[in-house]
Chains A and B, each alone.
Chain A
Amino acid sequence: MTSPVNAGVERTMNGREDRFAAYFAARSGAMRATAFLLCGDWHRAEDLVQNAFVKLYLVWHRVGQDEKLDSYTRQILVRTFLDEKRRGFFRRERPISEVGDRPLPELDDHVENRVVLVQALAAVAPRQRAAVVLRIWEDLSIEDTAKTMGCSTGTVKSQLARGLTALRSLVPANSV
């Protein structure tokens, strides 16, 4: 039988988890899209999002649910990506250890163009890629991009310029 004290703890935990679960349901898709552009693979993107949300879970009791929460979560995601790139993990492919039962998404006729862009992004250096995705796709300011990546605005500007140059050299003008 659950004591009143334990029941209170459970309610607190459930409330905390309910809020976390609701936030995950609302925002994991957007974070996964960012992760996909960063790493070029839906499997890796989901692994990255999961790792980022686990880190968020650990500090959930200390973060406020305001407009800054997305920024904070994105920071965890991007820095986790950069950290894993630095450690070389994504250079090695990994089998997926557990399986689900969801269907393959429908692909349309433009899949070839999509593949070209994703492969080109993957060929750009990780920090340059992060700068491009955050500044161009997320439409963050230079300052917010720098805060997200944990570097100076000058570094963001140089990484962005190099990344865009590299990307444009890799993607034929009429392919996307």
Chain B
Amino acid sequence: MNDRELRAAMDHAVAVEPPPMREEPVLTAGRRALNRRRAVRASAGSAAVVAIIAAGVTVLAPSQGHSGEIPVGAPPSATKDTPAPSTSARADATATAGPEYDRAAALAAALDALAPAGYGTPGDLKGVDDYADRTLKSHKAMSAGTVNGTEVWNYAAGTPLTKGEGVGELVATVYSPGWATTGEGCGLRPAAWDATRASCVEVDVNGKKVAVADVVYPPQDGLTSAQWAGYRHSDGTVVFVMQSAGVARSGRPHLGTMPMTGPELAAAAVDPRFQLR
């Protein structure tokens, strides 16, 4: 596949797009972010004035505006902006009720049941900074499209695993029968999380060949190492289960070790509870 063919394939991939995004949610989120920034600046300015007055010096509040190059991709103030809820996101492909939603909820329950003894799976633990309003536990069901007349669903769930002050996580994603896959064991394609960085071994679970991959990220990525297991059931259901000893944006220290062994994770991938049928 040369560059021209790859470009054509990418054109094809984005050719069928959802309806246009609505502008109002973005404007609303922008106004809120602007108000937050102004409030923080006003607060900081007031604090500075109070401090300086206390020192016996009279000053004017600093100018709000300034010129110069704008930092790209970063909030233009020292404060972190909370992302607005995804009001613009397509809801049509996400099940918010009904049997598919229930399967995602069942996946979340299966993940909770997988937690080793001594670990907690709190539902109210939230992230920090700009993700302070999002819980670390979540689940969803989303249509992945129709393949050969069959609608394929993707179910995903994640839960924090806590022990003492430390927090790690379990994440699972399941594709219903019909998802286009090839191979088995370490040859299963498409593979899950960051396959190009994965070091894979095959684990036999009662005669079933399961891929168990260790993923190590470069230091500059700042991501905790992860381990995932992947298996395609005979009915075509594909299950990936991942564990990590840390959670980005949790504001809490990592667990000392991975919560589970590789064989335990492999056993989870073939566990019928993750088959969701």
A positions within 8 Å CB-CB of B: 17, 20-21, 24-25, 28-29, 32-33, 36-37, 41-43, 46-47, 49-51, 53-55, 57-59, 62-63, 72, 75-76, 78-80, 82-83, 85-89, 91-108, 110-126, 128, 132-133, 136-137, 139, 150, 162, 164, 166-168, 170-171, 173, 176
Contact = CB atoms under 8 A, between A and B. Distances in A.
B39 interface: no
Given A33-B17, A58-B76, A95 B139 contact: yes
A43 B94 contact: yes
Among A25, A79, A98, max chain B CB count under 10 A is at A98
B206 interface: no
Interface residues of B, number: 92
26 contacts: A24-B23, A28-B23, A42-B90, A43-B89, A47-B86, A51-B83, A53-B30, A58-B37, A58-B76, A80-B73, A88-B223, A89-B248, A89-B249, A93-B158, A98-B25, A99-B91, A102-B19, A105-B18, A112-B148, A114-B13, A114-B16, A114-B145, A115-B145, A118-B13, A171-B1, A176-B9
B140 A94 contact: yes
Interface stretch (B117-125, B193-201, B264-272): B193-201
Contact of B144 (A108, A115, A117): A115
B26 A24 contact: yes
Contacts of A97: 85-86
Given A53-B26, A75-B73, A170 B189 contact: yes
A50 B96 contact: no
B7 interface: yes
B42 interface: no
Given A59-B76, A176-B12, A86 B221 contact: yes
B86 A102 contact: no
Interface in B248-272: 248-249
B10 interface: yes
A136 B7 contact: yes
A49 B18 CA distance: 14
A64 to B, nearest CB: 11
Given A43-B94, A86-B220, 19 more contacts: A25-B20, A32-B21, A37-B14, A57-B30, A57-B34, A59-B76, A79-B74, A88-B224, A88-B247, A92-B138, A92-B169, A94-B134, A98-B89, A100-B89, A104-B93, A125-B197, A162-B196, A170-B189, A173-B1
A150 B17 contact: no
Given A24-B26, A50-B86, A95-B140, A128 B196 contact: yes
A100 B90 contact: yes
A107 B12 CA distance: 12
B53 interface: no
Nearest to A98: B87
Contacts of B139: 93, 95
Interface in B34-85: 34, 37, 67, 70, 72-77, 81, 83-85
B10 A117 contact: yes
B86 A103 contact: no
A55 B84 CA distance: 11
B101 to A, nearest CB: 9
B77 to A, nearest CB: 8
B136 to A, nearest CB: 8
B114 interface: no
Given A54-B29, A59-B70, A107-B146, A96 B89 contact: yes
B186 interface: no
B73 A112 contact: no
Contacts of B190: 116, 119-120, 122-123, 170
Contacts of B247: 88
A49 B226 contact: no
A91 B171 contact: yes
Contact of A43 (B90, B189, B226, B244): B90
A54 B33 contact: yes
A72 B8 CA distance: 25
Given A80-B73, A98-B87, A104-B93, A50 B17 contact: no
